[in-house]
Amino acid sequence: MIKFWHIIALIPAFFLSAQIIEVESFDQIQIPDEKNLLVILDIDNTLIQLKQELGSDQWFYHRWKELEDKGLSHQEALNKVAFEFNGIQTLSQSELVEESILGFLEKLRLKKIPFMGLTIRSFELCKKTHQQLTDCGITFDSCFFDPQPHFLDKKGFVFSYNGVIFTNGSSKGIAFDLWKKAHNLFFDHVIVVDDKRAHLETLQNALANYGIKFTGYRYGYLDAHVKNFCPKKAKSQFAFIEPLIEGRLHLVSKYQEKERSLN
């Protein structure tokens, strides 16, 4: 019979130092007194949310499936819902997910622990995202991070700007790896807060390649709200805003056709 400690001895050290913890509030997140520590924060449904159902994280995934059910391919549906999402965001107001977030960020500042944002939003929303965050009282430490806009992957449109990485729908683990290599940075411990376990796992795997300690917090403050998402209510809200978004889409399509004719 194999002893338990024999099994433990065979497990790589980075797996022993990696964990994902379920929390329902930022008050439950533990920040250790360690050097060379980085905190990564998701944005949608973690730091901020829209004041209406339309354009929310849960609306995005519902709308994506809805478009696929109507016959669009996976990528076609993604492209369309991403365009709609961007349009809704530019016309909507945001609010903090919970008030204790500002206190949590202030503690990080006092401890001089750098923190950054990591979102699957597209680079087109970079300025609007920072406006939404600023309106909610959230600013990232641009003294530590390069505030200038920078494409980490021009083909995949992975983009960093003023302390936030925009993955354009791609893997957060890959995007963080690109950012880390671009700035030649190394951390002993990375703490990640995200409402989606899948994103935490991609970051966990990326950090394991460097032997960096990982602690993930699966943030569930809005779980009940997401579960009670009302597609009918969101659809009625979308009816008012869709003409504005579709008109913009038509103009973009005409511009793209003109560009192709000139090439």
Third-level CATH fold of 18-49+96-223:
Rossmann fold (3.40.50)
Q: What pLDDT does 78 receive?
A: 87
Measured over the CA atoms of residue 165, residue 168, residue 104 and residue 133, the dihedral's sign is: positive
The whole-model pTM stands at 0.84
* Ramachandran area for residue 162 (φ above 0: left; ψ -120 to 50: alpha; else beta): left
Task: Kindly list the distances between the CA atom of residue 86 and the CA atoms of 41, 55, 140, 151, 212, in Å, as whole numbers in the listed order.
Answer: 20, 8, 22, 19, 34
Q: Look up tokens 């159902």; give the residue.
A: 53
Which tokens in the block code for residue 137?
């009282």
Q: What are the per-10-residue average pLDDT scores of the chain (263 residues)?
A: 38 59 98 95 97 91 94 91 90 94 96 94 93 95 74 92 92 95 92 97 95 97 95 86 66 42 48
Residue of 34, 4, 3, 42 whose CA lies nearest to 17: 34
